[in-house]
Structure 1
Amino acid sequence: MASEAQQAMLSKIKDQTGFIAALDQSGGSTPKALKLYGVNEDAYSNDEEMFSAVHAMRTRIITSPAFNGYRVLGAILFENTLDREIEGKSSAHFLWQEKQVVPFLKVDKGLADEENGAQVMKPMPGLDELLAKANAQDVFGTKMRSVIKMANLDGIKAVVKQQFDIGKQIIAAGLVPIIEPEVDINSPQKAEAEALLKIEILAQLNALSADQVVMLKLTLPETANFYTELVEHPNVLKVVALSGGYSREEANQRLTENNGMIASFSRALTEGVSAQQSDEEFNATLDATIESIYQASRT
């Protein structure tokens, strides 16, 4: 039985206008995220110091007055963030209880080597324990990412099947999975890959039972409103868009053209903020960014 908090989170994601902040850079992507924020690699000497630095960056974003549940529906966290606190509360509890922002948890362990033009996810041996930990902190959903580089049917089938197989395990644990089969924006076959991907996702969605609900996180498509059937599917709570390396301006523009899709940006969200800014500058920059992504998500 869903808790009162889960019911409130569900109706927020379903009915409210806004977007999802992707604050889940981990492992290999952390140094890059910190560098863009103005913290170079000589500022930390090991993983613990690196993760403390990135937690300080995320804390500054989350505690900013610009970051609130009016425009930001949810935030995706990395496991290390889940294990840390913000102003004396667990990060997930702080997000929901203080900001009314729905917490999600990134659960994948990274990508396997490329095969058939795609990268499936590495095995997740401790997934059940991680889902139990997420539930204990009132986390609403999860996120896991695969990558598609070419319009290869075998590769795309493998990615989508794995995503939905693990997605069902996540649903069984009482959480809502964000299924993310990213199509590389630099793929020479991007539109063709998207066409195959849509067919495979629809086949998997149609095989779900009525109470199995997922979210989808997809690359902004080459053709506007290409994913309308997915947006309107009864088993899909929300379709969110990744920025995938597009500038914020281009990501927002593409998002505006795709009705019913909302943003779940990572790098495009933190573009322009830095550790060197005063709180006033930082909050003003973040506020303008959040407003632009919010407006693009309203279409």
Structure 2
Amino acid sequence: MQLQKMDMNLFPVLDAIYTTRNLTRTAEQLHLTQPAVSNALARLRRALGDQLFTRTPNGMCPTPLTEQIMPQVQQALSLLANSVAEHHRFEPAAATRTLRVSMNDMAETLVLPRLLEHLQAQAPGISVESYYVPRDQLVKELGANSLDFALDVPMISATQLNQHRLSADRYQCMLRPDHPLAEEANLTLDQYLDLEHIHVSSRRSGPGVADIALNKLGRRRKVKLRVQHYRVAPLVVLKTDLALTVPLSLAQQYPAKRFELPFQIPQMDWHLLWHRSQDEDGAHQWLREQILGLFG
């Protein structure tokens, strides 16, 4: 019989019978029923064209063919067991691999400096690639292992993914420090709406979270500038009278005047997302722990 037509599950049974010389003990060792072991032995005999074992008063005695093939069978099973163990065992200091993460430019700012500092010390052989994958493609990319993680908002309907909340970020309004409103203690809704605003979105059109919240109040802000990236928007704020509604973790990195918003807006929840098929991978587990630890 050709090897590709063999049921590889039969070889652990062969090895166990060879080791124990007893079908009952083989069944106990493999957590099988004795009829299941007998059936496996019968299939092996048909596949290999040999009795493989004969019954004697001292147990199952291997035939010459069995004695001939068992060193290679045991070596193959050992290599397979070591390969599986290696899949679960991970040694950061010796690891060489590329970590691929989907995140936007704001997430990169918050995560990459600390993550690379940690990897440099603990796992210097790991490289990182960061790029943004649209949400409607995340499940496919993560499932294909072309992407290890995503840092994004929760994806409740994506049952194939595991998700862990990293942090929640409230929004503030950011102005340049010498803005005409900088001396105000608070920002009223009318003052907010009188300002001209920067809207950050990777899409060409459509409202943001601030616009959606204002629409519920029957109000609308004036968007003067629409940009793709969070990192450029604060630089524009510092040079103009434009306002930016931005998560606090980014706003506090700049010498800007910050106001609490004069209306309710949902917080930005950051989640770490990965495919369920990666749950037991040792390297993936370690990398998850490192990213989660940055927000601990």
TM-score range (shorter-chain normalised) is under 0.3
- Indicate the structure whose relative CO is greater, using CA pairs within 8 Å and at least 6 residues apart: 2
Which structure would you say has the larger Rg? 2
Normalising by the residue count of structure 1, what TM-score does the alignment of the two structures yield? 0.22
Looking at secondary structure, tell me which structure has more strand per residue: 2
TM-score by length of 2: 0.23
